[in-house]
Amino acid sequence: MNDKETKIALVTGAGSGIGRAVALELLRTGWSVALAGRRPQTLEATAALADTRAGNSASFCVRADVSQPDDVAGLFAAVRERFGRLDLLFNNAGTFGPGGIPFEELPYDAWRHVVATNLDGAFLCAQAAYRQMKEQDPQGGRIINNGSISAHTPRPHSAAYTATKHALTGLTKSLSLDGRPYRIACGQIDIGNAATDMTERMRTGALQANGEVVPEPVMDVADVALTVRHMAELPLEANVQFATVLATTMPFIGRG
């Protein structure tokens, strides 16, 4: 990252959890950040948490549902109009979907909702970012996809979520290859048990592969944000292709 110029980031799912933590870390360290999500109130809450000077325009809230092509087109048009370029997309928006439902009972509508958010949304945002990074001057930028421990190993009753996260790994690899001629780097961060509202149930008990329900350790979400910033601030000649950040003693290595 060139300290002499402000870098521009877009964070999807910026209204809570990992997206909020990453957005705040980038804002804290001098980035300008577009905050995207479905709920304007939570985006504004993220912006209000940023430690910025009065009148600083470093954060910019845009309401968008990443599963909707028109919303994504409008989002990237708004970012281009506001900032003129894009240096980083943190492709973070996602959902677990309904929990605890056996595979044979999973409704198709629930499957489609998870696929639309986690995979279609990631594709739409990555494609829009890719087009902008290819066309802008100077050319290039970075896309970081939020994968998951489930991109490697599933939890029980998580077919939709696990399938989309495995697919996201393929998208990351393809983007990393296709972006080479245009100085577009793409990497993926796979996260295990960061302490957010989405993982609150881990502390009280999570279903294990052997059928037991046991509490799992979590880690500070700020440590995820630090890792994303490290990946983001590398020169485009270097790339963290895959990074796995997890609570040290969570049951992942040896899961099952």
Q: How far apart are CA 142 and CA 183, in angstroms?
A: 8
Q: Is 108 a catalytic residue?
A: no
> Residue 74 — φ and ψ, nearest 5°?
-65, -40
The pLDDT profile of the chain, 256 residues, written as one tens digit per residue, is 434 478 999 999 999 999 999 999 999 999 999 999 999 999 999 999 986 544 455 899 999 999 999 999 999 999 999 999 999 999 999 998 887 789 999 999 999 999 999 999 999 999 999 999 999 999 999 999 999 988 888 888 889 999 999 999 999 999 999 999 999 999 999 998 888 776 667 767 777 777 788 888 889 999 999 999 999 999 999 999 999 999 998 888 765 5
**CATH class name, domain 8-246:** alpha beta
Q: How far apart are CA 174 and CA 192, in angstroms?
A: 24
**β-sheet bridge partners, residue 37:** 63
Q: What is the pLDDT of residue 157?
A: 85
Do 50 and 130 touch, CB atoms closer than 8 A?
no
pLDDT in tens, 159-195: 999 999 999 999 999 999 999 999 999 999 999 888 8
Catalytic one among 108, 130, 161, 182?
Answer: 161
Query: What one-character DSSP code corresponds to residue 219?
Result: B
